[in-house]
A and B are shown apart, each in its own frame.
Chain A
Amino acid sequence: MILNDLIAVKEKELASQKKIVLRCCMAAGCISSDSKGVKEQLEIAVTEAGMQDEVEVRGVGCMKLCCEGPLVAVDPKNELYVKVTAENAPSIIASLKGGKANVEQTDPDAAFFKKQLSIVLANSGIVNPERIESYIAADGYLALHEVLNEMSPKEVVEAMTKSGLRGRGGAGFPTGLKWGTVAKSPGAKKYVICNADEGDPGAFMDRSVLESDPHSVLEGMAIAAYAVGADQGYLYVRAEYPLAIARLHLAIKQAKSLGLLGAGIFDSPFNFNVEIRIGAGAFVCGEETALMMSVEGKRGTPRPRPPFPAESGLFGCPTLLNNVETFANVPAIYRNGAEWFAGIGTEKSKGTKVFALAGKIKNTGLIEVPMGTPLRTIVEEMGGGAPDGGKIKAVQTGGPSGGCIPSQHLDTPVDYESLGKLGSIMGSGGMIVMDEGTRMVDVARFFMEFCMDESCGKCIPCRAGTVQMHNILDKILKRKATGRDLAKLEELCDMVRNTSLCGLGQTAPNPTMSTLRFFRNEYEELLQPDTFGAGATHSQPVTK
């Protein structure tokens, strides 16, 4: 394949486009409420109305307002039908000839949609994720072509550094710096791994990206592989995402058959193959060193760093490991230029961030906003606030590694530093809204239980410390704890955070620590008075 072939595919696809397009969500959320049946009936209704030549019913990815699914959008009428059932199909098709369908609609220009800025989700809900032509028609693989033909690997890394993109897996490590380190690490064999082991409770951003636009991730991986000098890639996807896995398999097959993956991509000397590895249900395998162990076929437990994967990773080779959303940002950065990307967001956090908005909020679903957007805009304007006029109490970000941000801090801009200052983290993008009915000690115990169950058991602080912290939280909730127990809990939080081997243990105390910081009274209200003496303390060691 050369550039002309790619353009030919694009033009053919655009030329075959019909006048009216009914976009029907085929992501896991809507499928679970029968969007497959809706699509089938829409197709039948189109045939019955004899409109096959002018109407296309297109299965697309996530259209973001998940709570109102199944969603059907009509182009170019700019209509968005919600909670569509298979029985609604004839009415929707009839309305195409004039009139109004007797189906609930929502305003596609509402704040939930208008405040979004789509880079990662630009194709989501628009292209058909099961057809590579659909992606190519949206300028897909153009960036890969440009990178392979116009830029040296060094220039690719430089552009990434200039863009200011930071890792979207949660920690926010500068992507350009990571690429540069792997590129400079000596080694004939290098690997690129995409971490799609999304595991935070309530988070579904990466799943949506993979289900809605798998080619953007593959293209991002290929560009990264060229930049660092890798020829083999792995996509580590959790087994709980069967649809994402199926679409990735299909996408890899299609890209290979067009020569966009495999040997000699775009007639260049660059080779890149991608394989899928499926996780067996361990949260800890989202930690990079545990993930690589799992890819190698070993028990998924983390190992101490250094050495970092950039130096010694998969099979001991230099390895670049980025998250799904990070890779999905890559094609747009090279298509539009690093300066364009660096112009979005805040000084230290560039671009956009995708959040899975969930919990006690009116509009749950997927949102992508520029970095620096205040939490209040997301929760109140876009999310529509708490349902039934309730009051929002806190917003949880970062899942079991994050913290709870109380409502008085809702004006905080969403960026890595600001969230960090409040004792939370950006995380991978889970955002759980809590209303006044939520007990914060319950929240802390829930996340501690999660970490306790998901601890791999390798290091003692995480394995045994989470058990003790969970027991104390449980005791507090049962109104059996005293101030001494609370002191022990805080001491354990500090110890587990500082001594655990990997990120799971190091961040496991975060939800407890942040709720203690902002909602300490809720803990204290549950405490019983100390009945005897001051807390036991250690004396000095007998011998050293």
Chain B
Amino acid sequence: MAAKTLTIDGKQITAEEGETILQAATEAGIKIPTLCHLEGVYDIGACRLCLVEVTGTPKLLPACTLKVAEGMEVSTDTERLRKYRRMTLELLFAERNHVCAVCVANGHCELQTLAYSQGMEHVRYEYTFPKWNVDNTHRLFGMDHNRCILCTRCVRVCWHIEGAGTKNVSGRGGKSKIITDLNQEWGDSESCTECGKCVMSCPTGALFQKGSTVGESERDRNKLEFIVNAREKKQWNA
């Protein structure tokens, strides 16, 4: 393995041959925004948030799949890139129904976090308000297509980490959809091992564990009654 010397955002760094720009930048403490990237599975360069400028190349290239080369000059944070990143996020928010306030992932959502960090304050494009269903047929997990950004992390994890091959993509364009087996309900899936890796990999609230949704957060008032009864009536029965 030969070492490569390159410049990222004016900072001279070294990287091992075969490393990606994203890996090299992370090592050097330079943060490049990502969304479809997930440590541990292969990269696909789909979300376009990690696009960087490379001197001498007219096209913008994704840092997650671009390999380091000797003498490369990379810019990760130009005004143009910041603008494109904000627009990409706006497009995502307008594409499906991302309503943070009632989302299971509120506060733990990578899409939400990115929108904050990239300065996306509002969406200038028309919301399309598509009608997507929620698959609640699985014993343990749920899939809300309204929150899906089609990053395919769940698909990659399911095929390449768990090896089950349950999750896949069907359809094309904006009508693309994450499916289970041969487009069956998740609860009917024979290949799903219930490992839950897809839920762990999901950057938004599209995949969730049952019981974690806002609608399912019920209060257990009986506990209060129990303690009041115990204090006032000296009754310890539940």
Instruction: Give A residues with C-beta under 8 Å from B.
Output: 282, 284, 299, 303-304, 306, 452-461, 463-468, 471, 488, 491-492, 495, 498-501, 536, 538-544
Task: For B175, list chain A residues within 8 Å (CB).
Answer: 457
Contact of A488 among B119, B124, B168 (CB under 8 A): B124
Contact of A457 among B66, B67, B169 (CB under 8 A): B169
Task: For A464, list chain B residues within 8 Å (CB).
Answer: 91-92, 94-95, 174
Instruction: Known A468-B91, A501-B46; judge A539-B77 contact (CB<8 A).
Output: no
Task: For A467, list chain B residues within 8 Å (CB).
Answer: 95, 128, 173-174
Instruction: Known A304-B65, A501-B46, A501-B48; judge A536-B122 contact (CB<8 A).
Output: yes
Task: For A501, list chain B residues within 8 Å (CB).
Answer: 45-46, 48
Identity of the chain B residue whose Cβ is nearest the Cβ of A461 in the assembled complex: B48
Asked if B86 is an interface residue, CB under 8 A from chain A, the answer is yes
Chain A nearest Cβ from B26, distance in angstroms: 15
Q: Is the CB of B119 within 8 A of A491?
A: no
Asked if B176 is an interface residue, CB under 8 A from chain A, the answer is yes
Can you add 16 more A-B contacts, CB < 8 Å, to A304-B61, A460-B95? A303-B45, A304-B62, A304-B66, A452-B173, A455-B172, A460-B88, A460-B91, A463-B95, A467-B174, A498-B59, A498-B60, A500-B48, A538-B121, A541-B119, A542-B116, A544-B117
Q: Is the CB of B47 within 8 A of A459?
A: yes
Instruction: Known A460-B47, A488-B125, A539-B121; judge A454-B173 contact (CB<8 A).
Output: yes
Q: Is the CB of B48 within 8 A of A543?
A: no
Instruction: Give B residues with C-beta under 8 Å from A.
Output: 31, 44-48, 51, 59-62, 65-67, 77, 82-84, 86-88, 91-92, 94-95, 116-122, 124-126, 128, 149-150, 168-169, 171-176
Chain A nearest Cβ from B11, distance in angstroms: 15
Q: Is the CB of A468 within 8 A of B61?
A: no
The distance in angstroms between the C-alpha atoms of A492 and B174, with both chains bound, is 17
Instruction: Known A499-B60, A542-B117; judge A457-B48 contact (CB<8 A).
Output: no
* Residue in A303, A460, A466, A495 whose Cβ sees the most chain B Cβ within 10 Å: A460
Chain B nearest Cβ from A306, distance in angstroms: 8
Contact of B172 among A306, A454, A542 (CB under 8 A): A454
Q: Is the CB of B119 within 8 A of A539?
A: yes
Task: For A499, list chain B residues within 8 Å (CB).
Answer: 48, 51, 60, 84, 88
Task: For A468, list chain B residues within 8 Å (CB).
Answer: 91, 94, 125-126
Instruction: Known A468-B91, A468-B94, A500-B48; judge A457-B125 contact (CB<8 A).
Output: no
Task: For A466, list chain B residues within 8 Å (CB).
Answer: 173
The distance in angstroms between the C-alpha atoms of A543 and B176, with both chains bound, is 33
Task: For B149, list chain A residues within 8 Å (CB).
Answer: 460
The 8 nearest A-B residue pairs measured at CB = A541-B119, A457-B176, A464-B91, A304-B45, A455-B173, A464-B95, A304-B65, A499-B48
Identity of the chain B residue whose Cβ is nearest the Cβ of A542 in the assembled complex: B119
Chain B nearest Cβ from A533, distance in angstroms: 13
* Residue in B46, B59, B61, B119 whose Cβ sees the most chain A Cβ within 10 Å: B46
The distance in angstroms between the C-alpha atoms of A544 and B118, with both chains bound, is 7
Contacts A/B (CB < 8 Å), 28 sampled: A282-B172, A299-B169, A303-B45, A304-B61, A455-B174, A457-B173, A457-B174, A457-B175, A459-B46, A459-B47, A459-B48, A460-B46, A460-B91, A460-B149, A463-B95, A463-B173, A471-B128, A492-B87, A495-B88, A498-B60, A498-B84, A499-B88, A501-B45, A536-B122, A538-B120, A539-B119, A540-B119, A544-B77
The distance in angstroms between the C-alpha atoms of A498 and B87, with both chains bound, is 12
The distance in angstroms between the C-alpha atoms of A540 and B121, with both chains bound, is 10
Instruction: Known A456-B172, A499-B60; judge A538-B91 contact (CB<8 A).
Output: no
Instruction: Known A282-B172, A468-B91; judge A457-B45 contact (CB<8 A).
Output: no
Identity of the chain B residue whose Cβ is nearest the Cβ of A300 in the assembled complex: B172
The distance in angstroms between the C-alpha atoms of A488 and B126, with both chains bound, is 11
Q: Is the CB of A303 within 8 A of B124?
A: no
Task: For A455, list chain B residues within 8 Å (CB).
Answer: 172-174
The distance in angstroms between the C-alpha atoms of A408 and B51, with both chains bound, is 39
Identity of the chain B residue whose Cβ is nearest the Cβ of A506 in the assembled complex: B59
The distance in angstroms between the C-alpha atoms of A129 and B176, with both chains bound, is 41
Task: For B59, list chain A residues within 8 Å (CB).
Answer: 498
Task: For B86, list chain A residues within 8 Å (CB).
Answer: 538, 541
Q: Is the CB of B87 within 8 A of A491?
A: yes
Task: For A491, list chain B residues within 8 Å (CB).
Answer: 87
Task: For A495, list chain B residues within 8 Å (CB).
Answer: 83-84, 87-88
Identity of the chain B residue whose Cβ is nearest the Cβ of A505 in the assembled complex: B48
The distance in angstroms between the C-alpha atoms of A455 and B120, with both chains bound, is 25
* Residue in B61, B92, B122, B150 whose Cβ sees the most chain A Cβ within 10 Å: B150
Instruction: Known A500-B48, A501-B45, A501-B46; judge A452-B87 contact (CB<8 A).
Output: no
Q: Is the CB of A538 within 8 A of B173?
A: no
Q: Is the CB of B88 within 8 A of A463?
A: no
Task: For B121, list chain A residues within 8 Å (CB).
Answer: 538-539
Identity of the chain A residue whose Cβ is nearest the Cβ of B125 in the assembled complex: A468
Chain B nearest Cβ from A340, distance in angstroms: 35
The distance in angstroms between the C-alpha atoms of A466 and B173, with both chains bound, is 9
Identity of the chain A residue whose Cβ is nearest the Cβ of B86 in the assembled complex: A538
Identity of the chain A residue whose Cβ is nearest the Cβ of B35 in the assembled complex: A460
The distance in angstroms between the C-alpha atoms of A452 and B175, with both chains bound, is 10
